[in-house]
Structure 1
Amino acid sequence: MAIQLEKLSYTYQAATPLAQQALKDVSFTIKDQSFTAIVGHTGSGKSTLLQHLNGLLKPTSGRLTVNGQVITPATKNKELAKLRQEVGFVFQFPEAQLFEETVLKDIAFAPKNFGATEQEAEKIAREKAQLVNLDESVLERSPFELSGGQMRRVAIAGILAMSPKVLVLDEPTAGLDPSGRAEMMALFKRLHEKEKLTIILVTHQMNDVANFADQVLVMESGRLLADKTPAELFSDPGWLKKHHLNLPQTTAFAQRLVERGMEFAQLPLTEHELAKVLATKIKEAEGENG
């Protein structure tokens, strides 16, 4: 499901003395079934941008097109129901949105709200619980008895129960330990690859950008600063430093090797890429010394 922004701007408390412009003439296209990362410092406009993607906010000027549906400042709220069903929004701490007495009821809430019968909603809930690796044994428990990671999976399953085509993720691994973060990113990768979901991820984790994204949007002061592939973005450490952005850990290590005289055709982004290059260089060195 393609998404296109055309000169989209947004001002909080527009036409008042407290007006503050958060987005300024932002234009880009996100392809269907892509994995897009959005990066930038606090206050750069990332969260405001995300809230336009499923109609939580409407542009002050410009337009947004999602799967053919056009959203402008004149769009009525009642016209946004289809958009909100097709674009699932996972907030930074989605477990804070849980409220039902059991896990099963919480996941089933969205499909019931969209007209499914009790039996249909329960069937969908069980399917989505399985999709996010929630054990059958937790379905009749209160979600508030679960671990933080499990609660987050319940919340995500509830969003998936709407059968969205796009999953918008606002720093979804915040507050998780490294193991929990890795499990959550593996889940999103599986949803992207197996369920063919378009994924839009806001993150400060450049390792996740390098490992999962095929498009990176860089926001700064409410403007779109760059629209690149991860390879393009991380090939210029000087530009990143200028804009106070970090390299992925593997790329940063490779850059230190470059500073010590090693040459790379292209800076590796992942551990696998680096290992492959180093293995080739070791074989070449052994051949020269053999």
Structure 2
Amino acid sequence: MAITFKQVDFTYQPGTPFETKALTDINVTIPTGSYTALIGHTGSGKSTLLQHLNALLKPTKGTVTIGKRVITPETSNKDLKRLRQHVGIVFQFPESQLFEETVAKDIAFGPQNFGKSEAEAMQIAEQMLALVGLDRALLTRSPFDLSGGQMRRVAIAGVLAMQPDVLVLDEPTAGLDPQGRLEMMEMFARLRHERDLTVVLVTHQMDDVANYADNVIVMDRGQVVKTGTPREIFKDPQWLVKHQLGLPKTTAFAHELQAAGWQFKQLPLTEDELAEEIAAQLPPQAFGGDPAK
């Protein structure tokens, strides 16, 4: 499911002394099946744009097209419930939204709210728990008795239980240690392929953009200032600094190597790419080969 913004403006509290324009003339498309990273410094408008992805906010001006549904400033809120089944949002610290007495009831809440029977919803809950890598034995446990990482996975299972076409991730690894971050990001990459999802990742982690995204939207001061592949976005370090953004660690190291005289066919974005580029330039004896051959 594609999402397209056309000439979108959004203003908080219009017509009041507290009026604040958060988005200006947004024209961008999130393609079906893409893994799109939405990046920008704090206050750039990412969170406001994110809430338009399933019409939690409606544009003050312009249109947002979600699949075949066109959202305008005049769109009635009562017509948007079904739309929100198709675009699931995992907000920061989603575990804080858990509320039911058991894991099964928490995951099943959404499907039941959309008309599934209790039996059907419980079956979905069991399937989604397995999908996020947790044992079915946890279904009868209180979510508040689980570890922080398990609670987060349960919350994500609740979003997946709605069987969305688009999964929006708002800083989904916030507060996790490096191993937990890696496991979470690998899980999302797996879910994208297994569930044929369009994924939108809002993040400050440039390494995650380089490792997982195939499309990037850069925001600054409420506007989209650049779009492209990760390689296109990260090729100009000075432009990134100007917009208060950094480089993936691997790419930053590759720039240092270039300054020291190394040449790359293309700038490495990931550790594997950097390793391949370095290996291609080292002499055979660096790998135990015979220098005479």
TM-score interval w.r.t. the shorter chain?
Answer: over 0.9
Residue 135 (structure 2) pairs with residue 138 (structure 1)? no
The residue type paired with residue 279 of structure 1 is A
Q: Contact 1:107–1:161 (CA<8 Å) still a contact in 2?
A: yes
The residue type paired with residue 124 of structure 1 is I
**Distance in 2 separating the partners of 1:256 and 1:288:** 28
Shift of the alpha carbon at 1:280?
1.0
The residue that corresponds to 1:51 in the other structure is 51
Q: 1:289/1:260 Cα in 2 relative to 1: closer, same or farther (>3 Å)?
A: farther
The residue that corresponds to 2:239 in the other structure is 239
- Residues 161-200 of structure 1: pairs in structure 2 closer than 5 A: 161-200=161-200
The residue that corresponds to 2:280 in the other structure is 280
Shift of the alpha carbon at 1:200?
0.2
- Residues 194-233 of structure 1: pairs in structure 2 closer than 5 A: 194-233=194-233
Q: Secondary structure at the match of 1:139?
A: helix
Q: Secondary structure at the match of 2:210?
A: helix
The residue that corresponds to 2:157 in the other structure is 157
**Distance in 2 separating the partners of 1:162 and 1:101:** 20
**Distance in 2 separating the partners of 1:256 and 1:246:** 14
Q: 1:285/1:243 Cα in 2 relative to 1: closer, same or farther (>3 Å)?
A: farther
**Distance in 1 separating the partners of 2:125 and 2:94:** 17
Q: Contact 1:235–1:266 (CA<8 Å) still a contact in 2?
A: no
The residue type paired with residue 77 of structure 1 is N
The residue that corresponds to 1:270 in the other structure is 270
The residue type paired with residue 43 of structure 2 is G
Shift of the alpha carbon at 1:68?
0.9
Shift of the alpha carbon at 1:165?
0.3
The residue that corresponds to 1:19 in the other structure is 19
**Distance in 2 separating the partners of 1:288 and 1:238:** 41
Greater alpha carbon shift after TM alignment, 238-247 vs 4-13: 238-247
What runs of 5+ residues in structure 1 fail to find an aligned partner?
Answer: none
**Distance in 2 separating the partners of 1:199 and 1:171:** 13
The residue that corresponds to 1:63 in the other structure is 63
Q: Contact 2:207–2:249 (CA<8 Å) still a contact in 1?
A: yes
The residue that corresponds to 1:6 in the other structure is 6
Shift of the alpha carbon at 1:128?
0.4
Shift of the alpha carbon at 1:283?
4.7
**Distance in 2 separating the partners of 1:12 and 1:119:** 42
Identity of aligned residues (%): 60
Q: Secondary structure at the match of 1:269?
A: coil
**Distance in 2 separating the partners of 1:289 and 1:10:** 68
Shift of the alpha carbon at 1:285?
8.6
**Distance in 1 separating the partners of 2:3 and 2:285:** 48
Q: Contact 2:41–2:243 (CA<8 Å) still a contact in 1?
A: no
Residue 251 (structure 2) pairs with residue 251 (structure 1)? yes
The residue type paired with residue 221 of structure 1 is R
**Distance in 2 separating the partners of 1:228 and 1:97:** 34
1:207-262 Cα shifts (integer Å, max 9, x gaps): 00000000111110000011110010111112112222111000011110001010
**Distance in 2 separating the partners of 1:142 and 1:179:** 25
**Distance in 1 separating the partners of 2:292 and 2:145:** 62
The residue that corresponds to 2:105 in the other structure is 105
The residue type paired with residue 216 of structure 2 is V
TM-score, reference length from structure 2: 0.96
The residue type paired with residue 63 of structure 1 is T
The residue that corresponds to 1:92 in the other structure is 92
Q: 1:174/1:96 Cα in 2 relative to 1: closer, same or farther (>3 Å)?
A: same
Shift of the alpha carbon at 1:83?
1.3
Q: Contact 1:144–1:151 (CA<8 Å) still a contact in 2?
A: yes
Tell me the C-alpha RMSD between the 2 structures: 1.4
Work out the number of aligned pairs and report it. 290
Q: Secondary structure at the match of 1:184?
A: helix
**Distance in 2 separating the partners of 1:191 and 1:8:** 30
TM-score, reference length from structure 1: 0.97
Shift of the alpha carbon at 1:30?
1.0
The residue type paired with residue 253 of structure 1 is F
**Distance in 2 separating the partners of 1:43 and 1:11:** 14
Structure 1 runs (4+) greater than 3 angstroms displaced: 283-290
